[in-house]
Amino acid sequence: MKKRGLVIVGIFFFLLVTVLISGCFPAKTELLTDESRGIAENEYYYLYFEASAGETIKANINIVSGGPINVILTNYEGFSDFSSAYTNIFDYYEVGSGFNILLKSFNFNVQEDKTYYIIMDNAGMVDGGAVPSGDVTVHYRIEVEH
């Protein structure tokens, strides 16, 4: 009976070590949204969500019709400054942002637990960015890998 118990414990230990070494715990990806929407000229649309340190925000944003837009990844403070009528100065994450673009894909490695915003700007609110030329249709897919 003792040998049988030791064998079972040994097998369990071996399987546990094998799983841990082989990395059989794949990252879990949560789909936040995968949709298309129109954004009128001189308007912007935004999404916001929580992400934690160590996670990865994955995004693919494609202008299906219409002219170029600005895509901005920022946090609450940056969004607050962006949406203020009093300033054109705001903080954003360069890897998740693009100005005067038709397509933006990125993987952003989250360093801090925060609320993150992805802004799709067809309002021309960024100096040197896209100038609105009419309504646009945008398809976007946003995921968070835990």
CA distance 60 to 131: 21
CA distance 121 to 68: 9
When pLDDT is cut at 50, 70 and 90, the band that residue 127 belongs to is: confident
Domain that holds residue 111: 29-145
**What's the pLDDT at 130?**
95
- For the whole model, what pTM was predicted? 0.82
Residue 5 lies in a domain: no
For residue 52, what is the domain's CATH number? 2.60.120.680
The β-bridge partners of 107 are 58
Residue 42 lies in a domain: yes
DSSP 95: G
Residue 52 lies in a domain: yes
Residue 12 lies in a domain: no
**What's the pLDDT at 85?**
66
**What's the pLDDT at 65?**
98
Note the maximum CA span of the chain: 80
Residue 2 lies in a domain: no
- Domain tally for the chain? 1
Instruction: Dump pLDDT digits (tens) for 33-82.
Output: 999 999 999 999 999 999 999 999 999 999 999 999 999 999 999 999 99
Instruction: Dump pLDDT digits (tens) for 65-124.
Output: 999 999 999 999 999 999 986 667 899 999 999 999 999 999 999 999 999 999 999 999
Report the alpha-carbon angle 97-103-107, nearest 5: 50
**What's the pLDDT at 78?**
95
